[in-house]
Amino acid sequence: GAVVSQHPSWVICKSGTSVKIECRSLDFQATTMFWYRQFPKQSLMLMATSNEGSKATYEQGVEKDKFLINHASLTLSTLTVTSAHPEDSSFYICSARDSPIGNEQFFGPGTRLTVL
């Protein structure tokens, strides 16, 4: 199956700082990438969908100015958590599929963010 990587795998930062998470498709071109958030013992919740070269589509309740998404190439999407606060601490997971109507989604290993 297709491989998706994320970096970093974990990060600890101080309140008020910004953190950037990278998501890469290693062996395929990802026209569409997704960012999810998972709180402990809960399911995955979609935050936003990004298509290469266009603006991301955010789910209801997700602040687009706080969670900046850039999908500048077919193999890289980034999520920047701006002015992070302790309530932003969570497990962030990216996902990709290889065509706009591609069916199977592949997931990265996730990034655990802790904001002190």
Partner 1 sequence: GIQVEQSPPDLILQEGANSTLRCNFSDSVNNLQWFHQNPWGQLINLFYIPSGTKQNGRLSATTVATERYSLLYISSSQTTDSGVYFCAVRGAGSYQLTFGKGTKLSVIP
Q: Please, which residues have CB within 8 angstroms of residue 105's CB and are 6 or more apart in sequence?
A: 34, 95, 96, 97
**Interface with partner 1, residue 28, by CB under 8 A:** no
**Interface with partner 1, residue 34, by CB under 8 A:** yes
Which one, 1 or 61, has the nearer CB to partner 1? 1
Binding span for partner 1 by CB under 8 A among 11-19, 22-30, 43-51, 70-78: 43-51
- Give the closest residue to 108 by CA, choosing from 30, 13, 17: 30
Which one, 15 or 26, has the nearer CB to partner 1? 26
Using CA atoms, how far residue 40 sits from 12, 52, 89, in Å, is: 17, 30, 10
Binding span for partner 1 by CB under 8 A among 19-27, 41-49, 67-75, 82-90: 41-49
Kindly tell me which residue out of 25, 31, 32, 75 binds partner 1, with binding defined by CB under 8 A. Answer: 32
CB 71 within 8 Å of CB 51: yes
